[in-house]
Amino acid sequence: MHLTDIWFLLIAVLWTGYLVLEGFDFGVGMLLPAVGKDPVDRQVTLRTIGPVWDGNEVWLLVAGGATFAAFPLWYASLFSGFYLALLVILVALIVRGLALEYRNKLQDAAWHRRWDLAIVIGSAVPALLWGVALANIVRGVPLDANHNYTGNFFTLLNPYALLGGLTTLTLFALHGAIFLALKTRGEVRDRARRLVLPLAAVTVPLAAAFLIWTQSYDGSWITWVLAALAAVCLILGVLASRAGHDGLGFLGTATTIVVAAATLFVTLYPNVLPSTTDPAFSLTTTNASSTHYTLTIMTWVAVIFTPIVLLYQSYTYWVFRTRLTRDDIPQVKPQTTAA
């Protein structure tokens, strides 16, 4: 296996880890109004992701940095062509981060309502647009002979990409609902569990349609097997959650995201950004990569530091593994002010 292949695999792993971990963060944020019917329940909901959400975003930073270092032409074409979409995602992530940090700085009902809305929007927008972006990467975008993007923002909003966006939006919401059932007790858990079946009823057909459509883009028997496995894991995860096995349910949706991401990256390889203008203009793991020397140095750095990061983040999840209840929240009644 060449170093370019190793780094393509590592970047795929980084993006997959981000989607699994940040996916339930986005889901919790989107479901905040549905599961948090009073200030205490909303506090319980947000505390499930409080210790981990910023650590989960590190996967995005590392994935972006690895893409820049290992495949600079891929990074350049991707970030220039997807500039406006990525800017919208960045703003949404910033607003969401501010909301999670500042929401409890004041005990004021209007203040909480505004930041709660920011959390919902800041979670839903990236959940939708990351699916749109990944779908466009697999489908391809118009590139010229110099690998410059020649389309515009609306070029990215094609039917396949929008279906991808709706798939990640609903899948992350389902993932978040099962995560809340796993991490809480009482009313929040009950409400989250009641949302699983309606969300699954929307997610399953969308995900199936998206993965089947994906097979038209250089699909193979391997991607068909992976797509079928993703569907089975999703259904089993929903059934486990409905049966009260929250851990197995969460494992099911997490595995679904892993296998679905594998389907996309296997379909994409050896391209990293196909050109819909002319296949000869496509970026591949070979023509988009850095020098062999650069990849060698980066590989040693990854071998040393990746296990350290994984151990640290695993330790964080272990420390905050207990379920949360209303009893864990200080009973402070917010002041009522005009909105």
Q: For residue range 255-290, list pLDDT tens digits in order.
A: 999 999 999 999 999 999 999 999 999 999 999 999
- Dump pLDDT digits (tens) for 193-231: 999 999 999 999 999 999 999 998 888 999 999 999 999
Average pLDDT over residues 249-259: 97
pLDDT value of residue 331: 63
Tell me the residue type at 322. T
pLDDT at 4 over 90: yes
Up-side HSE of residue 41: CA atoms within 13 Å toward CB? 17
pLDDT band at 339; cut points 50, 70, 90: very low
How many whole angstroms separate alpha carbon 311 and alpha carbon 303?
13
- Dump pLDDT digits (tens) for 291-314: 999 999 999 999 998 898 889 889
Of 213, 298, 292, residue with least CA distance to 260: 213
Q: Is 244 exposed, middle or buried (0-12, 13-18, 19+ CB in 10 A)?
A: exposed
pTM equals: 0.94
Phi, psi of 184 (to 5 degrees): -130, 170
pLDDT value of residue 219: 80
- Determine what percent of the chain is predicted with pLDDT higher than 90: 84
Contacts 24+ apart (CB under 8 A), 188-195: 188/35, 188/36, 188/41, 188/44, 188/45, 188/324, 189/323, 191/34, 191/35, 191/37, 192/31, 192/35, 193/241, 193/242, 195/31, 195/34, 195/35
Average pLDDT over residues 170-180: 97
DSSP string, 87-143: HHHHHHHHHHHHHHHHGGGS-BHHHHHHHHHHHHHHHHHHHHHHHHHHHHHHH-B-B
Residue pair 145/107 in contact by the 8 Å Cβ criterion: no
pLDDT at 87 over 50: yes
Task: Report CA-CA distances (Å) from 274 to 142, 225, 279, 283.
Answer: 8, 23, 7, 6
